[in-house]
Structure 1
């Protein structure tokens, strides 16, 4: 497994004198946020926004507790633990977002900026958070921020836009290098299915073209099937079609979804699902509630952690379809 940790963090922080001057203005879906001075107490809400300051050598004062893929139950994903260890830091305050944002917990950390570039915050959430500290919100729609945009948006809020750009370039370079060993993925189509429930097979749910799980498959050399692109609504991260229209997905080479083999075995007995070629021939990657399943939704620190494993599983799924 490729576990090349982001060693650029401390070096980038050391060169931050070259970053943009303050105040900085961040444009986002709710308008704009002005950050008057370089933040020293950074908090984040939503998914993985804390990984941007960590990768840049900054330990946040608080961020969301991991609720998916946390094998040991400490609220930290393994790549976050590794980065904290690398920085010689303890885990900060972890916000429990099981029932939504814990505004009191966020306020208790006394932040001077709140990162939320990849999140689903509402206008009301944004307004409440803004009474605590300036908020870096998502640029377009809820949960549609790509890992590149997450880095750029959050890094800009830290006054480290150029360092964020360098981070994006280095991740892209590592992906491109790894891809050289997997030419069989080029041009194959990958679909990330969200809804295959044996109790209700009336519809097929999928992550839409704007979702970064789908865009990560494109990063890994695969194409988004035409039916997914056409059925994806602007600004939406997921979609759904009637299972009676399952023939739309005849051009899908690989299906990625959450579940286990027992579930898949039951699904393929359904006459409608059996008409889904990729599923019928076993070109399926089943992700569990573990770090691999979590990192299929890519983040700045998780990409290196799972890259080789994910590429291997995609190549194996392609081979099953051609066998």
Structure 2
């Protein structure tokens, strides 16, 4: 591990009054315009830091990073980070391409940026996963790089740190939970109090939904993929954010699946064959699959089609791709946008 300290002193640009994000999470933002023109595509929206927030030294798995003043041009690398930055009131200048949909940005993200009066970030596939295009990051002229939900290597971290202060993941690559991600990002953006509030607000939203639907309380669930061509199924464990959402809604992980989790060293997912799957008996089977993909799985895999939760109509396949991605991403913005539809799918499986 290499411990590095990075600092920066961004130039101060004109700021505007704060605005509100009307997506169940209120965040304040200000915009800075490089050219002074309010219609300029170079307008950047960022939230005012909380009093005394800077300078700050952020500890993470690859070192420690000192940020002297409020960042204004933020590049986000990895999974879910752009969502969380916007929830905290800062619109990144660049981020990864939205995975899984035919668009550069997820719909809840685009709506949130519009509410803040910002410009949608530039996108590059290397910022979502894979080897980071360092030259592309350099071209964005960032004053902060947030790679908290990523898998960047130590070499990439060092190269990125030559461009701007860089904050990596708190523990292992690709292991950061949404609350951990928010906490670390809150430190880096000078919004730690707001980050804690967002977690609390999301917990309250989920608890309210659970209270409104007591019929879900105590039901056992298995959250997994539909079978692949070879019959293998990926089971998502209690270490996965999707499972956290289901638990918050009152459902309980299937004990048999938890035993399998222990046998797989606590991994966030593990693979089962169909014969192993049919030994499991959850009250509800939760998955993400379009109508066509669901029907194809039923047609191709008779064992799956005859598995009790599927045959008895106790399956909740989330068919809308965007809602399925909101469920998988499980950020406050995503869940605020898609929670009602997710709950409806669960209720349909319990009728």
Band of TM-score, shorter chain: 0.7 to 0.9
Residues 286 and 316 in structure 2, CA contact (< 8 A), matched pair in contact too? yes
1:157 to 179, 188, 193: 188
Cross-structure match for 1:96: 125
Please say if 1:246 is aligned against 2:264. Answer: no
Q: 1:141 to 1:187 in 2, by over 3 A?
A: farther
Q: The residue matched to 1:17 in structure 2 has which SS?
A: coil
CA distance in 2, matches of 1:14, 1:130: 23
Cross-structure match for 1:16: 49
Please say if 1:257 is aligned against 2:275. Answer: no
| Range with greater deviation from structure 2 (154-163 or 10-19) | 10-19
| Range with greater deviation from structure 2 (216-225 or 89-98) | 89-98
Q: Larger Rg: 1 or 2?
A: 2
Please say if 1:53 is aligned against 2:85. Answer: yes
Q: The residue matched to 2:275 in structure 1 has which SS?
A: helix
Q: 1:23 to 1:261 in 2, by over 3 A?
A: closer
Shift of 1:212: 0.8
Shift of 1:145: 2.3
Deviations 1:167-202 (A, max 9, x none): 1111222222222211111111222213512x211x
Please say if 1:308 is aligned against 2:340. Answer: yes
Shift of 1:310: 0.8
Residues 144 and 236 in structure 1, CA contact (< 8 A), matched pair in contact too? no
Q: 1:167 to 1:117 in 2, by over 3 A?
A: same
Q: 1:99 to 1:205 in 2, by over 3 A?
A: closer
Cross-structure match for 2:72: 40
CA distance in 2, matches of 1:181, 1:63: 36
Shift of 1:99: 7.0
CA distance in 2, matches of 1:228, 1:19: 46
Please say if 1:5 is aligned against 2:13. Answer: no
CA distance in 2, matches of 1:120, 1:208: 20
Structure 2, unaligned stretches of length 5 or more?
1-20, 31-45
Shift of 1:271: 4.9
CA distance in 1, matches of 2:52, 2:222: 39
Q: What are the residue-to-residue correspondences of 1:153-192 with 2, within 5 Å?
A: 153-192=184-223
**Greater RCO, CA 8 A, separation 6+:** 1
TM-score (norm 1): 0.85
Deviations 1:38-86 (A, max 9, x none): 322211011220122212222222111213234xx3x121111111211
CA distance in 2, matches of 1:263, 1:312: 20
Structure 1, unaligned stretches of length 5 or more?
none
CA distance in 2, matches of 1:226, 1:216: 17
Shift of 1:89: 1.5
TM-score (norm 2): 0.79
Please say if 1:134 is aligned against 2:183. Answer: no
Cross-structure match for 2:257: 228
Q: What are the residue-to-residue correspondences of 1:206-221 with 2, within 5 Å?
A: 206-221=235-250
CA distance in 2, matches of 1:294, 1:190: 19
Q: The residue matched to 2:81 in structure 1 has which SS?
A: coil
